[in-house]
C-alpha cells in the first residue's frame, strides 16, 4: 500500500506558484493572523491600534496590486488557469481593498464607542476582504464557490454584530438563512454545469455550452447559478433580505455589505457570464433583462415611501443594482459585449465611492441626532454646512446629475445598452430612463430636507465628526467628483481584452 503511494508520489510535480501574483492574498492572510494574535494580547484601552493595523494591512496588500499593474505586460495564470491575475482582476482587487480601507475608517469610532468586540470584527473583515480579492481572480466553479463563502460567512456574523440588539439579530439571521439557501441553489446549478460539460473551469464550460444546442441540464444549471448570484446582488425578487439586514446591522457593516459584498457578487456574475456562458445568451439574456427591469423599478418604487434614511439607501442600492445589471443583459451581443463589461466595472467603481460616502454622512450625523429618520436631517445645512455639501454631492451623484461620477456611470451603462441596437435594448433603456427620474424624486426629497427645513428640535449645536470619518468623507468626495469631471481616469479599466479568455460571439 505504502509502496503504491510512494510510486504514485514520484509522478507528483510541484505546481509552479507565481508568488508575486498571489502577494496581495498572502499579505491579507498574514494580516488576519497578526491581528488575531495581537488582539489576544492587547489591553482593552489599546484596541484602537487594531483598526490602524488593519488599515495598514489593506494598504499593504494594495502595494503588490500596484506593482503587478505597473509591470502588467500580460496576465498571470496559476493552477491551470483556475486562478488568473489579469488587469480586470487587478482593478477589482484595488477597488475592494480601497473600499475596505474606507469602511475601517468609518467603523473605528462606532466600534470603540459602542463597546463592541473590535479585534474579532477586524479579523472577520479581513477574511471577508480576502474572499473578495480571491473572487476577482477566481476562474473556476470551485474557487468561485470557496471565495463566495469566504466573503459571505464573516459578513453574516458582522451583520449580527450587536449581539444584544434584537434588530441586529434579525438582520444577521435573515441574511444568513437566505444567503445559505441561495448558495445551495447556486451549487445545485453548478453541479449540473459540471455534469453536462465535464469541467469546473469556466473557459471549458464556455467552450462546451453552445446556443441552440443546450440540453435541459445545461439550462437548469445556467438559470440556477444566475439566481444564486441574484441573491448576492439583491436583485428583485431575491432582495427581501436587503432592507431588513441593512437597517438592523451596524451602519458601517451596512456600508460594507451594500458596496463590497454586492460588488463581489457582480464580479462573480461578470466572470461567469463572460467566460462560462458566452454562448448561452439565449438563456441568460431574457433572465437578466427581466431581473434588471424588475430590480430598478421595484427598488425605486419602494424607496419612494421610506422614512428611514438607511432603509431608503437600502432600496436605493437595490435599484442601483438594477442599473449595474442592465448592461450585463447584453453581454452576449457582438456590438455591446465589450462596452457592457466596461460599463459594469466603471459603475461598480463609482457606486462604491458615492454609496460609501452616503453611509459615512449617515454615521456622522446620527452620532449627534441619534435617529435614522429622514426628518432628523432637517436643517443640516444650518449647523453642519460641510456635511450638508458632501451629502449633496453623494445624493446628486446617486441620482445621476452631471458632472458627478454617478452621472458618468449611468451614461456609460446607457451607452452600452443602446449599442446593442435591438428592440429589447431600447425598451430596457427606456425603463431605465423612467427610473432615473423616479429615483431623483426621493434623493431630492432628502436634499430638500437638508437645505430647506429647520432642525426638528431646534438644536443648532455643531456636529463633531471624528477624524477617521472626515478622512473617509474626503476620499469618497474626491472619488465621486474626479470620476465625473475626468471620466477618462476610469474608462480605460476593464476593456474586453483585460478579462483573459473573454469572448463575445
Partner 1 sequence: MLAVNFLLLAAVLFCIGVYGVIARRNAVMVLMSIELILNAVNLNLIAFAVMNGNQDGQVFALYVIAIAAAEVGVGLAMVLMIYRNRKSIALDELSEMKG
For residue 125, with 0-12 CB atoms within 10 Å meaning exposed, 13-18 middle and 19 or more buried, which class applies?
Answer: buried
The correct pick among 156, 394, 407, 493 for binding partner 1 (CB under 8 A) is 156
Told to check if 261 binds partner 1 by CB under 8 A, we report no
Question: Is residue 163 a contact point for partner 1 (CB under 8 A)?
Answer: yes
Residue 176 is a binding residue for partner 1 (CB under 8 A): yes
Binding letters toward partner 1, positions 279-318, x by CB under 8 A: -----------------------x--xx----x-------
Among the listed ranges 10-18, 137-145, 261-269, 427-435, the one in contact with partner 1 (CB under 8 A) is 137-145
Cell numbers standing for residue 261: 459584498
276 binds partner 1 (CB under 8 A): no
Q: Is the dihedral of CA 145, 148, 154, 157 positive or negative?
A: negative
Sole binder of partner 1 in the list 17, 33, 56, 195 (CB under 8 A): 195
Pick from 192, 229, 330, 353 the residue near partner 1 by CB under 8 A.
Answer: 192
Provide CB contacts within 8 A for 41, sequence distance 6+: none
184 binds partner 1 (CB under 8 A): yes
- Does position 139 interact with partner 1 (CB under 8 A)? The reply is no
CA–CA separation, 234 and 317 (whole Å): 9
Confirm or reject binding of residue 153 to partner 1 (CB under 8 A). Answer: yes
Q: What is the largest CA-CA distance in the chain?
A: 84
Please tell me whether residue 142 binds partner 1 under the rule CB under 8 A: yes
Q: How many residues of this chain bind partner 1 (CB under 8 A)?
A: 43
SS3 138: strand
Nine cell digits for residue 34: 497578526
Eight-state DSSP code of residue 76:
E
Q: Nearer Cβ to partner 1, position 124 or 420? A: 124
Of 31, 119, 248, 479, the one binding partner 1 (CB under 8 A) is 248
Shortest CB 155 distance to partner 1, Å: 10
Q: What is the DSSP string of 186-224?
A: HHHHHHHHHHHHS--BHHHHHHH--TT---HHHHHHHHH
- Contact flag: residue 191 with partner 1 (CB under 8 A): yes
Confirm or reject binding of residue 232 to partner 1 (CB under 8 A).
no
In terms of C-beta distances under 8 Å and separation of at least 24 residues, what long-range contacts does 40-45 make, across chains too?
40/119, 42/119
Task: Outline where DSSP puts E strands in 213-300.
Answer: none
Q: Give the contacts of 469 (CB within 8 A, at least 6 positions apart).
A: 105, 106, 109, 360, 363, 364
Closest CB to partner 1 among residues 156, 256: 156
Smallest CA-to-CA distance from 347 within 444, 490, 496 is with 490
With respect to partner 1, which residue has the nearer C-beta, 63 or 177?
A: 177
Least separation in angstroms between CB 465 and partner 1: 28
Residue 149 sits in the site that holds partner 1 (CB under 8 A) = yes
Task: Return the axis-axis angle of helices 262-271 and 216-232, rounded to nearest 10°.
Answer: 160
Binding partner 1 (rule: CB under 8 A), the pick from 199, 335, 371, 491 is 199
Q: Are 397 and 354 in contact (CB under 8 A)?
A: yes
Q: How far apart are CA 95 and CA 100, in angstroms?
A: 9
Residues that bind partner 1 in the complex, under the rule CB under 8 A: 141-142, 145-146, 149, 153, 156-157, 160, 163-164, 166-167, 169-174, 176-177, 180-181, 184-185, 187-188, 190-192, 194-195, 198-200, 243-244, 247-248, 302, 305-306, 311
Amino acid at each position: 500500500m505504502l509502496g503504491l503511494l510512494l510510486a504514485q508520489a514520484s509522478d507528483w510535480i510541484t505546481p509552479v506558484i507565481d508568488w508575486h501574483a498571489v502577494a496581495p492574498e498572502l499579505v491579507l492572510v498574514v494580516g488576519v493572523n497578526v491581528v488575531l494574535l495581537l488582539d489576544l494580547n492587547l489591553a482593552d484601552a489599546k484596541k484602537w491600534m487594531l483598526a490602524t493595523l488593519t488599515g495598514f494591512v489593506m494598504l499593504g496588500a494594495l502595494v503588490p496590486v500596484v506593482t503587478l499593474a505597473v509591470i502588467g505586460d500580460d496576465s498571470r495564470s496559476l493552477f491551470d488557469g483556475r486562478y488568473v491575475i489579469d488587469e480586470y482582476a487587478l482593478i477589482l482587487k484595488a477597488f475592494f481593498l480601497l473600499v475596505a480601507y474606507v469602511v475601517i475608517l468609518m467603523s473605528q469610532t462606532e466600534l470603540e464607542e459602542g463597546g463592541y468586540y473590535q479585534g474579532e470584527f477586524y479579523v472577520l473583515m479581513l477574511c471577508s476582504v480576502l474572499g473578495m480579492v480571491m473572487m476577482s481572480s477566481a476562474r473556476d466553479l470551485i474557487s468561485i464557490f470557496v471565495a463566495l463563502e469566504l466573503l459571505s460567512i464573516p459578513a453574516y456574523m458582522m451583520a449580527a454584530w450587536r449581539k444584544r440588539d434584537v434588530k441586529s439579530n434579525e438582520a444577521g439571521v435573515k441574511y444568513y438563512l437566505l444567503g445559505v439557501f441561495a448558495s445551495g441553489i447556486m451549487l445545485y446549478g453548478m453541479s449540473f454545469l459540471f455534469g453536462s460539460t465535464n469541467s469546473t473551469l469556466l473557459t471549458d464550460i464556455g467552450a462546451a455550452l453552445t446556443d441552440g444546442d443546450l440540453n435541459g441540464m445545461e439550462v437548469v444549471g445556467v438559470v440556477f447559478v444566475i439566481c444564486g448570484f441574484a441573491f448576492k446582488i439583491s436583485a428583485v425578487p431575491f432582495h427581501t433580505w436587503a432592507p431588513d439586514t441593512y437597517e438592523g446591522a451596524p451602519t458601517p457593516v451596512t456600508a460594507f455589505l451594500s458596496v463590497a459584498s454586492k460588488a463581489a457578487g457582480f464580479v462573480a456574475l461578470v466572470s461567469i457570464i463572460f467566460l462560462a456562458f458566452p454562448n448561452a445568451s439565449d438563456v441568460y439574456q431574457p433572465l437578466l433583462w427581466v431581473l434588471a427591469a424588475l430590480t430598478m423599478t421595484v427598488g425605486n418604487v419602494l424607496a419612494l415611501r421610506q422614512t428611514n434614511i438607511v432603509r431608503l439607501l437600502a432600496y436605493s442600492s437595490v435599484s442601483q443594482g438594477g442599473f449595474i445589471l442592465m448592461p450585463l443583459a447584453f453581454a452576449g451581443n457582438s456590438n455591446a459585449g465589450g462596452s457592457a463589461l466596461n460599463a459594469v466595472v466603471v459603475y461598480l467603481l463609482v457606486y462604491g465611492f458615492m454609496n460609501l460616502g452616503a453611509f459615512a454622512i449617515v454615521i456622522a450625523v446620527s452620532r449627534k441626532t441619534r435617529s435614522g429618520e429622514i426628518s432628523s436631517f432637517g436643517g443640516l445645512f444650518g449647523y453642519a454646512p460641510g456635511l450638508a455639501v458632501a451629502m449633496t454631492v453623494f445624493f446628486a451623484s446617486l441620482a445621476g446629475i452631471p458632472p458627478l461620477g454617478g452621472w458618468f456611470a449611468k451614461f456609460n451603462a446607457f451607452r452600452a445598452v443602446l449599442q446593442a441596437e435591438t428592440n429589447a435594448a431600447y425598451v430596457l433603456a427606456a425603463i431605465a430612463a423612467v427610473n432615473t427620474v423616479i429615483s431623483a424624486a426621493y434623493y431630492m426629497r432628502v436634499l430638500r430636507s437638508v437645505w430647506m427645513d429647520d432642525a426638528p428640535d431646534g438644536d443648532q449645536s455643531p456636529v463633531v465628526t471624528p477624524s477617521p470619518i472626515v478622512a473617509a468623507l474626503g476620499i469618497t468626495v474626491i472619488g465621486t467628483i474626479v470620476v465625473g469631471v475626468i471620466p477618462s481616469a476610469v474608462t480605460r479599466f476593464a476593456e474586453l481584452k483585460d478579462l483573459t479568455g473573454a469572448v463575445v460571439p
